[in-house]
Amino acid sequence: MSLKPHISAALNRIQPSATLAMTARVSALKAAGVDVIGLSAGEPDFDTPDFVKEAAIEAIRNGQTKYTLVDGTVALKEAIRGKFRRDNGLDFGLDQITVNVGGKHTLFNALVATVDKGDEVIIPAPYWVSYPDIVAFAGGTPVVIEGSAAQNYKITPVQLDAAITPKTRWVMLNSPSNPSGAAYSGEELDALGEVIRRHPHVMVMTDDMYEHVWYADFEFSTFAQRCPDLIDRILTVNGCSKAYAMTGWRIGYAGGPAWLIKAMGKLQSQSTSNPCSIAQAAAAAALGGPQQFLDDRNAAFKKRRDKVVAMLNDAPGLNCPTPDGAFYVYPDASGCMGKTTPDGLLIDTDEKLIDYFLDSAKVAAVHGAAFGLSPAFRVSYATSEAVLKEACVRIQQACAALR
C-alpha cells in the first residue's frame, strides 16, 4: 500500500511566491528560445561591488569557512551597528542585532517567533507578496489596508487607527515600497507614530530593504529614527540584497528589542543555523566600506524610472504614478478592465492582463492581485534602458490593441 501524501495545515495556508513563479515562467520561455523580456524579478542588474567580492575571497583564504554564531558574527554585527549609527542615528547593542539568511528570513523569524493563532498583523497594500503568507503560516490573520493610487499607494493615520484592534500584534511598514516604490516622508511617519502611541500593545516592523534606492526629491527616514520613544516596540529590518546587489549572498539583518532578537535566534538555531560565513564577511565589507557608488547607481535608476513612467503613461488605459524609490513602478490598469483582446478574451482581472502581455507582447510583469491591490501590475526597471524602452513599446502596442 502506498503512503497517502500529507501536507501540514501550516503549509496549506500559504501560496507559492507569485514573483518567483513569474520569474520561473520567463526562464522556461527563454530556454525554449522565446524572445521574452522579463520585468518581474526584483533584482538589481548591477554587479556586487569589487571590494565586497575581494572581502569574500580573503575570508576564504583566511579559513573563515566554519560555523559562526547562530545569528551572526561579531564582526558583522559591529558593521551593522555602525551602519545603523551612520545612516539612521540608531544605537543598538550587539544583543539587539540579528543576522539572517536574507531579509525574508528576518521577517519570517520575527513573525513566527511572536504571532499566535488569532493575532492580527496590519499590512498596507500594495504589499510585498510574502507578508500575508508568512503571517498566515504563523497562524495569524493578515489585516490589509489599501493605499490607493490616489493616495500615492500609502495609508493614512485615520486608516491605521481604524484597523487596530485588541488583537493587533504588528503593523508592517515598507518604505520605499516593493511593489509601488512609494515612500513615507518623515512627517508622514511622525503622523503614523502618533497613532501607534495610542495603542501600547502594538509593535511596528519596518522593512527598509530599499533604504538606499531613492531619488533627489525624497529623503529617507526610518520609523525608529522618527519615533525614538517607541524604539522598544520597533523591529528595523534591512539587508544587503538591493543596495549592494547581493541578492544571491542571502544576508538580512535587523535591530530591535533584545528579547525579540533572542527569540528570533532561538528559532534560527533550530532551522537554518548561521548564515553563510563567507557571505557574512562580504556583508561586513559592504556595510563598512565606501558608499559613494550608491549615488551613481541611483542616478541610473532614476533615468530608467523616468523613461518607464512616461512611456507607460502613454499606454492607453494605464495610469503610472512616479515612485520615490526602489526600482519598481505600479501602474493602475483600471482603464484596461472590461476590454477585449484581438483574440476575443475579456480582460476583467489584472492577472488576465499580465497573461495577455506575456502571450502577445512577450513581456513579463507581475499582476497586482499578488500584491493585494488591483487592478494594477508591477514592473521592475532594474535592467538596461534599451530593454526597458522595447518592453514599454510592446506594452503600449498591446494596450492599444484592446477594444
Coil, helix or strand for 362? coil
Average pLDDT over residues 267-277: 98
Residue ranges, CATH 3.40.640.10, the chain: 66-288
> Position of cell 472590461?
338
| pLDDT tens-digit series, residues 49-80 | 999 999 999 999 999 999 999 999 999 999 99
Q: How far apart are CA 125 and CA 173, in angstroms?
A: 10
Q: What is the pTM of this model?
A: 0.95
φ, ψ at 36 (rounded to 5°): -110, 140
Residue ranges, CATH 3.90.1150.10, the chain: 13-42+293-398
| pLDDT tens-digit series, residues 25-40 | 888 888 888 889 999 8
- C-alpha radius of gyration, the chain, whole number: 21
Q: Tell me the CATH class for 13-42+293-398.
A: alpha beta
| pLDDT tens-digit series, residues 146-163 | 999 999 999 999 999 999
For domain 66-288, the question of CATH label 3.30.457.10 is answered with no
Q: At what angle do helices 50-61 and 277-288 cross, to 10 degrees?
A: 140
Compute the Cα dihedral for 381, 382, 386, 391 and give only its sign: negative
- For residues 126 and 179, the answer to whether their CB atoms sit within 8 Å is yes
| pLDDT tens-digit series, residues 304-351 | 999 999 999 999 999 999 999 999 999 999 999 999 999 999 999 999
